[in-house]
Amino acid sequence: MVNQFGKPILCFYKIMKKINFIFSLVLLLFFFCVSCSEKDVDPVVIVEEIEEEIDDTETAIFSDINFLNWKLTLPVDENNNGSPDEYQPNVLVNGGYRNITAIAPYMYDDVSDASLIFYTFPATSTTNSSYSRTELRELITPSNARINWTLETGGTMHGKLKMMSISEDNNSSRQYHSTIVMQIHGIISIEDMARLNLTSNNGPPLIKMRWIDGDLWVYKKSLVNDATSGDDLFDVSTSTWVDEKHNMGAVGFDAFEFRITATEGKIELQLNNETPYVYEDVSLDKWPFENYFKAGNYLATTQTGAFSRLKYYDLTVTH
């Protein structure tokens, strides 16, 4: 024998077996609302909210950084070849980096805000440096690091990033260690190497953007003597090229956007939507090197226990 509530419940059970889950849920909520007339409930709105919550928890959103023209350098030498491990664009693209276990501790996704985290600490350094990095290096031609660009060609790099955490500096007057987050790095062209009979193509960094105690500083290479010319310009030592510094402003541990625009004889640097800071001088007119962009986390210390962790939400380059 079925009581007065049994028939509607049995009927509803049969309906649920024949129609999809969401529509059944609508009917269930409607049945509930009819039974509870004192409450004003819209079942369609509730179902839409449930759908949104399901989508949010089940769909991971990854950063939209295109690795087609970037190679990655890590702070470790896992393959024991005497140099930091590097990964070329062909294994990084299309989320390929997520499948490489050796990369995971140093570059990984934060799907909560579609960002890419770069972590580094003092370990293995590259040639001509004492410091370690988890950093991307631009490759105009993915298979050939010797093809780069000139200031005459120009280029723009734009990024949105954020310092997450960094170790305290107990050996200086600064509160924290510092790290370089963006660069334009110089490189000697194949033609000039052959002409000058050089064995190294290393050039100085034209622009370094350095996070120091929450401020973003630019270090720009300038000539010691503006009269220097010809092949003497290829001397990469501090007797020819030195850093000129400027504080772009405070960013702290908040997200910020930064844009570097390089053209012939001119560099524009823009923090967020502020007025660009411009370099336009004889040193840029005489800059003899080719260039490539770099972005990431280049920690400027060898102190034991030091570390730096920052994230990029966006990174694009155009030429």
Residue with tokens 């040639």, as numbered in its chain: 127
Give helix then strand counts, H and E, for the chain.
Answer: 6, 15
Residue with tokens 């844009």, as numbered in its chain: 259
The residues with which 70 forms a beta bridge, in sequence order, are 138
For residue 4, the model assigns a pLDDT of 40
Pick from 304, 319, 213, 201: which is nearest to 261 by CA? Answer: 319
Q: Report the distance separating Cα 132 and Cα 203, nearest Å.
A: 18
Q: Report the distance separating Cα 72 and Cα 295, nearest Å.
A: 10
For residue 28, the model assigns a pLDDT of 40
Please work out, in degrees rounded to the nearest 5, the angle formed at the alpha carbon of residue 228 by the alpha carbons of 224 and 230. Answer: 145
Please work out, in degrees rounded to the nearest 5, the angle formed at the alpha carbon of residue 307 by the alpha carbons of 305 and 309. Answer: 155
Find the DSSP H helices in 141-227.
Answer: 190-196
Return the H-helix or E-strand segment holding 215: strand 215-223
Per-residue pLDDT of 234-288, as tens digits, reads 999 999 999 999 999 999 999 999 999 999 999 999 999 999 999 999 999 999 9
Angle between helices 21-35 and 6-18 (to 10 degrees): 160
pTM of the model: 0.82
Tell me the one-letter amino acid at 49.
Answer: E
For residue 60, the model assigns a pLDDT of 83
Tell me the one-letter amino acid at 314.
Answer: D
Per-residue pLDDT of 106-139, as tens digits, reads 999 999 999 999 999 999 999 889 999 999 999 9
- Count of alpha carbons within 13 Å of 296, Cβ hemisphere only? 27
Return the H-helix or E-strand segment holding 205: strand 202-212
Q: Which residues of the chain have pLDDT under 70?
A: 1-58
Domains and CATH numbers, the chain: 6-58 (no CATH), 67-318 (2.60.120.200)
Q: From residue 223, how far is each of 185, 227, 237, 287 by CA, in Å?
A: 16, 9, 11, 9
For residue 25, the model assigns a pLDDT of 42
